[in-house]
Each structure stands twice: as structure tokens, then as C-alpha cells.
């Protein structure tokens, strides 16, 4: 991987703008999703003989609840890197589906100041209208309350 980029005087102004754009913008993708979470959890449980083949169909019914629990468990957690940088995890609904984003302050050379950068690290296929109680849906994103999973397998604000 190249750590240094040297611009030649032969580059046009348009090429320089393109290089500036490509080296300034960050495009992130989620670390994992509810499908991967469920598949890996199922595989571990099967490997350790904690989930039998004939139990798998019933276990599959818990897939939404497992994803909701992961969202509730990650929400409001703080990840601290060795260099002191912190990222706050927040559950939110960017479109229709429930996700967890990591937000951190980073230095922006373009702005000459610290800015907050947030990207989804866990995404679900769970529609918020189906899997969130109305008390949660009406709150602004990202949610600043604690979360819990109800017996109906929905997310709600913890009171």
C-alpha cells in the first residue's frame, strides 16, 4: 500500500481536483449485518453441539430478536482506540431499517477543525415500523435513550 502520493507538474488541474477528491472522501461499509450475525452464531452453536439440526427451524424464528438484542446491546456503547480516539455507537433508522452507527470526532484538513464523522457499522434488514414500538419511532435519530427488546420482539425505549 502506498503512503505517499507525488503529483507531477504534468497533471492537469482537473486531474489534481480528482486526486484531491479521491484522497479526501472516505467511503465506509458496515462491519456486519443481521444475516452474518445469525449465520455465525448458528454455526458456533452447531459446532459446540448447543444447537441440533432438528432445532434449527425454531431457532430461525429468533433471528429478528437476536438482531434487536445486538442493536440494544451496542447502543450507547463507546469504543476506545489505543490512540485515545473514541467512537460512540448509536442505534438509528437512516431509511426504513434499524442500524447502529459509530460516530467519532476527526480532524478535517479541508475545514481546519474537528468534525463528527458517523458511519453504520451494523445494519439490519428489520423494518423499524414493524420492529420498533411507537415511543421509539417518534424520537429523533439517533436515539439518546437506552433500548430494550420487548417480549413481542420489538425495540422500545428503556424507561
CB 148 within 8 A of CB 72: yes
H or E segment and range at residue 74? helix 63-74
Flag whether 49 is in a domain.
Answer: yes
Instruction: Output the average pLDDT for the chain.
Output: 87
**Model pLDDT for residues 47-84, shown as the tens digit of each residue:** 999 999 999 999 999 999 999 999 999 999 999 988 88
Count CB-CB contacts under 10 A for residue 3: 4
**Model pLDDT for residues 103-130, shown as the tens digit of each residue:** 988 777 777 888 888 899 999 999 999 9
Model confidence at 88, in pLDDT bands (50, 70, 90)? very high
Quote the domain boundaries for residue 89.
28-157
Total-model pTM = 0.79
Flag whether 97 is in a domain.
Answer: yes
Flag whether 7 is in a domain.
Answer: no
Nearest one of 69, 61, 22 to 42, comparing CA atoms: 61
Query: How many domains, in total, are found in the chain?
Result: 1
Flag whether 139 is in a domain.
Answer: yes
**Model pLDDT for residues 18-39, shown as the tens digit of each residue:** 766 666 656 678 999 999 999 9
- Exposure string of 83-121, with b = 16+ CB inside 10 Å and e = fewer, is eeeebbbbbbbeeebbbbbbebeeeeeeeeeeeeebbbb
Amino acid at each position: 500500500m502506498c503512503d505517499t502520493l507525488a503529483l507531477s507538474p504534468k497533471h492537469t488541474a482537473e486531474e489534481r481536483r480528482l486526486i484531491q477528491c479521491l484522497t479526501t472522501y472516505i467511503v465506509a461499509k458496515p462491519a456486519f449485518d443481521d444475516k452474518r450475525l445469525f449465520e455465525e452464531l448458528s454455526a458456533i452453536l452447531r459446532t459446540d453441539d448447543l444447537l441440533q439440526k432438528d432445532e434449527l427451524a425454531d431457532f430461525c424464528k429468533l433471528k429478528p430478536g437476536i438482531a434487536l438484542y445486538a442493536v440494544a446491546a451496542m447502543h450507547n456503547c463507546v469504543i476506545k482506540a489505543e490512540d485515545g480516539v473514541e467512537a460512540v455507537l448509536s442505534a438509528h433508522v437512516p431509511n426504513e431499517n434499524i442500524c447502529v452507527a459509530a460516530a467519532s470526532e476527526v480532524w478535517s484538513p479541508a475545514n481546519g477543525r474537528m468534525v463528527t464523522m458517523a458511519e453504520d457499522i451494523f445494519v439490519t434488514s428489520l423494518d423499524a415500523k414493524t420492529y420498533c414500538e411507537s415511543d421509539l419511532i417518534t424520537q429523533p435519530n439517533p436515539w439518546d435513550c437506552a433500548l430494550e427488546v420487548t417480549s413481542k420482539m420489538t425495540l422500545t425505549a428503556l424507561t
